[in-house]
Amino acid sequence: MKKILQQLVPSVLLLISCQFCTAQKKNISGSKGLKDAYIADFLIGTALNTGQIEERNLKSNELIRQQFNAVTPENCMKAEHIHPEWDRYDFTLPDKLMAYSQKNNMKLNGHTLIWHSQLPRFAHRIQSVDSFRTFFESHINTVASRYSGKIFSWDVVNEALNEDGTLRKSVFLDKLGPDYIVEAFRLAEKASPKTELYYNDYNNEQPLKRAGCLELVKKVQAAGVRIDGVGIQGHWHLGKVPFAAIEESILAYHALGLKVMITELDIEVLPRKFQGADVNQRQASNPALNPYANGIPDSILAQQAKDYEELFRLFLKHRDKITRVTFWGVDDGQSWLNGWPVPGRTNFPLLFDRQLLPKPAYHAVMGLKK
């Protein structure tokens, strides 16, 4: 009997320890993320690039599925990619993203139908107003109707305003006049009737631009056309997050009956000369502008955690008005801020580091829900 027991004990122990390993693994992959912590408040989203949509990196994919319940394509639904030639559309990657979001129960926000930037080259060459109108209409019809019934929301128009609240001088304004925004919403509503429709911009929490944004929304509403929400992009800077202006804007947009979203959140830690996200503004490279290439001090990470914490405290205060908070990327290595406005820098704007590990800012945001 004793002998049998002696033989059995090691196998039983092995069995127990293996079960423990599996439980541990399950725990890791199944542990709660931001999306779970904030489930009763608002969606937590991220922007995805090609590699992430194609699930090329296992660890990154696991992190995305663990943390987020909303996704926005960082680039692949922009006109230059999805509509590269007059009569040719490329839905390969957008279709993969649609399938990815369905498979993972994530809400997909289409970004973006009408934007002056990242337009296909042919669009700039169109001379006649009639042809440009045909491009404008068929682009919205074709792209929006393809995902009708499946896509949760669209950024119908992106960045149509100047900093002073006037309409940006773009090819759309030039060719179609100021009513192009109302028209874009009208067409999107027709092509994708069940999808939420948003206007999206950066710095539209700032007073002048906010006033312009409110006017724009009122004009769409007055035309009897549906607009469901406004996206405040949220490209902010360490130690300079404009909390008061953000709160005033949430209230002002909500007062028009709109849902409010933070759509491209990051808190940049490197110096630059201006606020916002106008991709045409650049600065020359210079080592003084890249101080943390060999590592970021703990004090900076602590300040960033404080900024994110205060921001999420504000979002929670207005959880009845905010429907989604989306980060512009998953981890610091992916961020567009490594290449803009100064090329080749090492930036640290997000909640996960280059090893995909949570930063102090992540723990601060999660801490609010403990």
Please list every residue from 232 through 251 that binds ligand 9MR, using CB under 6 A.
233
Q: In this complex, which beta carbon is closest to ligand 9MR, that of residue 183 or of residue 264?
A: 264
Q: In this complex, which beta carbon is closest to ligand 9MR, that of residue 47 or of residue 241?
A: 47
Closest contact distance (angstroms) between CB of 122 and ligand 9MR is 18
Tokens matching residue 42: 């608002």
Strands 107-115, 70-73: pairing is parallel
Q: In this complex, which beta carbon is closest to ligand 9MR, that of residue 66 or of residue 75?
A: 75
By beta-carbon distance, which residue lies closest to ligand 9MR?
A: 336
| 93 residue type, one letter | L
Give the whole-angstrom CA distance, residue 269 versus residue 346.
10
Gyration radius from the chain CA atoms: 23
Binding mask 247-276 for ligand 9MR (x = CB under 6 A): -----------------x------------
Task: Mark whether 205 is an active-site residue.
Answer: no
Closest contact distance (angstroms) between CB of 335 and ligand 9MR is 8
Beta bridge partners of 331: 352
Tokens matching residue 265: 């959140």
Q: Does 277 bind ligand 9MR (CB under 6 A)?
A: yes
Q: Does 279 bind ligand 9MR (CB under 6 A)?
A: yes
Q: Which residues contact 11 (CB under 8 A, 6 or more apart)?
A: none
Packing angle between helix 180-191 and helix 129-146, nearest 10 degrees? Answer: 30
Give the whole-angstrom CA distance, residue 270 versus residue 288.
10
Closest contact distance (angstroms) between CB of 184 and ligand 9MR is 16
Q: In this complex, which beta carbon is closest to ligand 9MR, that of residue 118 or of residue 286?
A: 118
Three-state SS for 63-76 is: HHHHHCCEEEECCC
Give the whole-angstrom CA distance, residue 10 versus residue 1.
15
Please list every residue from 168 through 207 that binds ligand 9MR, using CB under 6 A.
202
Helix (H) or strand (E) holding 142: helix 129-146
> Helix or strand or coil: residue 154?
strand
Tokens matching residue 364: 């601060």
Total residues found in the chain within this entry: 370
Catalytic residue, from 74, 205, 264, 309: name it.
264
Closest contact distance (angstroms) between CB of 330 and ligand 9MR is 12
Task: Mark whether 137 is an active-site residue.
Answer: no
Catalytic residue, from 74, 159, 205, 268: name it.
159
Q: In this complex, which beta carbon is closest to ligand 9MR, that of residue 22 or of residue 285?
A: 285
Binding mask 120-159 for ligand 9MR (x = CB under 6 A): ----------------------------------------
Size of the site for ligand 9MR (CB under 6 A): 10
> Helix or strand or coil: residue 237?
strand
Give the whole-angstrom CA distance, residue 135 versus residue 37.
43
Q: Does 22 bind ligand 9MR (CB under 6 A)?
A: no
Binding mask 326-355 for ligand 9MR (x = CB under 6 A): ----------x-------------------
Q: In this complex, which beta carbon is closest to ligand 9MR, that of residue 273 or of residue 370?
A: 273
DSSP assignment of 259-298: EEEEEEEEEE-S--S--S--TT------GGG-TTTT---H
DSSP assignment of 43-104: EEEEEE-HHHHTT--HHHHHHHHHH-SEEEESSTTSHHHH--BTTB---HHHHHHHHHHHHT
Please list every residue from 74 through 103 that binds ligand 9MR, using CB under 6 A.
74-75
- Applying CB under 6 A, among 29, 102, 118, 134 the residue interacting with ligand 9MR is 118
Q: In this complex, which beta carbon is closest to ligand 9MR, that of residue 165 or of residue 349?
A: 349
Closest contact distance (angstroms) between CB of 77 and ligand 9MR is 10
Phi–psi pair at 114, nearest 5 degrees: -125, 110
Give contact residues for ligand 9MR (rule: CB under 6 A): 74-75, 117-118, 202, 233, 264, 277, 279, 336
Hey, which residues are catalytic here? Answer: 159, 264
